[in-house]
């Protein structure tokens, strides 16, 4: 897995890890093994360890080996969605009576899973500003088993110093989880910075084409990986063969896409910052961003997500979303096409009234890889 790819560059690993040409046919791309069960050569005589596709499927294995290599981990597991991956992690690591710390601007679905589902099973949680180590320290309890970090965060692009929080979590006897969805492993590798587990919604940059929903967990802790794999099979929310293949296909171009997303986002940020109707721009590449130095230290570049506040409040923000043409109004992010959305009414509606509520005048952009000039023209007309 990752070891045999060490020494190669990320771009090369993305294209080759877990993807040797097919042993029988020489097919250069791993086939879609659209199959539920595998013939056994005598009872228990499995070929390559495959018996039933919930337990393991060769196309999913190719994706899992690839993801492990990209994150510099020992093992990865692929799921039906990012939230299925999160659910598997939470139910593997936590028991009734345990406590976890979640960030005050977590992805809305993560918050909902913790507050509305996991809590009912006797797990308690606190909210912290993970960008501030003192806030995390204050939230830790003797029964804290997990610290959850999302950096850059969704939708406010907050930055957390992964190495600092990893030390804090370790000294409290808790594990650190990093949701690396916004950065992708090309821009940031949390395991190398001390995280115990990386979570992905592969729906986003890894898939990259808005045509698949998927999730993943990656870790270097082999014992934990075994437990996670047991739960993955026991609970069953696996990534199917075709979905695994789509994510693998997307990953081949991850590096070039992320470079272009970052370049285009920098152009968009420059234009927004100068626009009279824009009150504030959230982007870690801005020197005025409070997490800029940390982001520059732990990320290769600043990525394609940009949020901004519009003068005129909620109505003005909604109008900008409605007027955009090239930026498609929609949830999700990380695809080649640019998207625009209103977090308060859309992706983060479930956080309303909680500590995770987002400003009503906020607009979030997923800056795609179209020509930057076309994107700027659309934003300019949408802002009026
Ligand atoms: C989308 C997203 C998730 C959830 O992933 P799904 O694939 O939609 O289940 C988790 N974290 C972040 C940061 C996301 O953007």
Ranges of each domain in the chain:
10-251, 255-382
Q: Which of 79, 81, 82 to mutate to test the pocket of ligand 1 (most atoms within 8 A of CB)?
A: 82
CA distances from 306 to 228, 250, 326, 352 (A): 33, 22, 16, 21
Could you identify the atom of ligand 1 that is nearest to the CA of residue 153? 13
Contact 144, 93 (CB under 8 A): no
- Whether 210 lines ligand 1, by a CB cut-off of 6 Å, is no
How far apart are the CA of 286 and the centre of ligand 1, in A?
A: 25
The pLDDT assigned to 94 comes to 98
Pocket test for ligand 1, best of 78, 108, 130, 154 (most atoms within 8 A of CB): 154
The rounded distance, in Å, linking the Cα atoms of 310 and 308 is 7
Nearest CA to ligand 1 atom 1: 201
Q: Which pLDDT score is estimated for 3?
A: 42
| 81 close to ligand 1 (CB < 6 Angstrom) | yes
| DSSP-assigned letter for residue 212 | -
Arithmetic mean of pLDDT, 348-358: 80
Phi–psi pair at 328, nearest 5 degrees: -80, 135
Ligand 1 pocket: which of 85, 114, 151, 181 to mutate (most atoms <8 Å of CB)? 181
CATH number, span 255-382: 3.90.1150.10
Query: Does ligand 1 lie within 6 Å of residue 243's CB atom?
Result: no
Give 2's pLDDT tier (boundaries 50, 70, 90).
Answer: very low
- For residue 105 and ligand 1, the question of a CB distance below 6 A is answered with no
Give the helix/strand (H/E) hosting 15: helix 10-16
pLDDT at 5: 57
Overall average pLDDT of the 45-57 stretch: 94
For the chain, the distance separating the N- and C-terminal CA atoms, rounded to the nearest angstrom, is 52
CATH of range 10-251; options 3.40.640.10, 3.30.9.10, 3.90.870.40, 3.90.1170.50: 3.40.640.10
* pLDDT surpassing 70 at residue 130: yes
pLDDT digits (tens, 9 = 90+) for 256-296: 999 999 999 999 999 999 999 999 999 999 999 999 999 99
What pTM does this model have? 0.96
Read off the pLDDT of residues 83-104 as tens digits, 9 standing for 90 and up: 999 999 999 999 999 999 999 9
Radius of gyration of the chain (CA): 21
Q: State if residue 110 touches ligand 1 by the CB under 6 angstroms criterion.
A: yes
- Kindly list the catalytic residues: 54, 107, 179, 204
User: Residue 94, Cβ neighbours under 10 Å: how many?
Assistant: 20
Scanning the structure block, which residue is given the tokens 């960008």? 131
Q: What is the pLDDT of residue 354?
A: 80
Q: What is the DSSP string of 330-380?
A: -S---SSS-EEE-TTTTTTGGGTTSTT---TTEEEEE--SS-HHHHHHHHH
Identify the burial level of 55 via C-beta atoms within 10 angstroms of its C-beta, where 0-12 means exposed, 13-18 middle and 19 or more buried. Answer: middle
- Cβ of 366 closer than 6 Å to ligand 1, yes or no, is no
């Amino acid at each position: 897995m990752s070891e045999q790819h060490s020494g190669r560059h990320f771009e090369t690993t993305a294209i080759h890890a877990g993807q040797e040409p097919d042993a029988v046919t020489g097919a250069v791309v791993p086939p879609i093994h659209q199959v539920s069960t595998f013939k056994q050569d005598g009872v228990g005589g499995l070929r390559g360890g495959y018996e039933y596709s919930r337990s393991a499927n060769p196309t999913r294995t190719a994706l899992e080996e690839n993801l492990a290599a990209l994150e510099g981990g020992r093992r990865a597991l692929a799921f039906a969605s990012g939230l299925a991956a999160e659910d598997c992690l939470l139910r593997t690591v936590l028991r009734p009576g345990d406590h976890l710390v979640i960030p005050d601007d977590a992805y809305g679905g993560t918050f909902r899973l913790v507050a509305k589902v996991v809590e009912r099973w006797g797990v308690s949680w606190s909210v912290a500003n993970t960008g501030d180590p003192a806030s995390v320290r204050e939230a830790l309890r003797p029964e804290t088993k997990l610290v959850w970090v999302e950096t850059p965060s969704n939708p406010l692009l907050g930055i957390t110093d992964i190495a600092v929080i990893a030390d804090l979590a370790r000294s409290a006897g808790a594990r650190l989880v990093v949701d690396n969805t916004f950065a992708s492993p090309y821009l940031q590798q949390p395991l190398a910075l001390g995280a115990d587990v990386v979570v992905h919604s592969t729906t986003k940059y890894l898939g990259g084409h808005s045509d698949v929903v998927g999730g993943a967990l990656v870790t270097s802790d082999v014992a934990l990986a075994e437990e996670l794999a047991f739960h993955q099979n026991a609970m069953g929310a696996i990534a199917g063969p075709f979905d695994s293949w789509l994510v693998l296909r997307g990953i081949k171009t991850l590096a070039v896409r992320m470079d272009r997303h970052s370049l285009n986002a920098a152009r968009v940020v420059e234009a927004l910052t100068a626009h009279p109707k824009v009150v504030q721009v959230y982007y870690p590449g801005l020197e005025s961003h409070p997490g800029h130095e940390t982001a520059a230290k732990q990320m290769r570049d600043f990525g394609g997500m940009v949020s901004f506040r519009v003068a005129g409040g909620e109505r003005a923000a909604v109008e900008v979303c409605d007027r955009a043409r090239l930026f498609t109004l929609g949830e999700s992010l990380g695809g080649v096409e640019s998207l625009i959305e209103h977090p308060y009414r859309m992706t983060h509606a479930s956080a309303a009234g909680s500590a995770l509520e987002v400003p009503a005048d906020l607009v979030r952009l997923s800056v795609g890889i179209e020509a930057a000039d076309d994107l700027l023209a659309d934003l300019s007309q949408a802002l009026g």
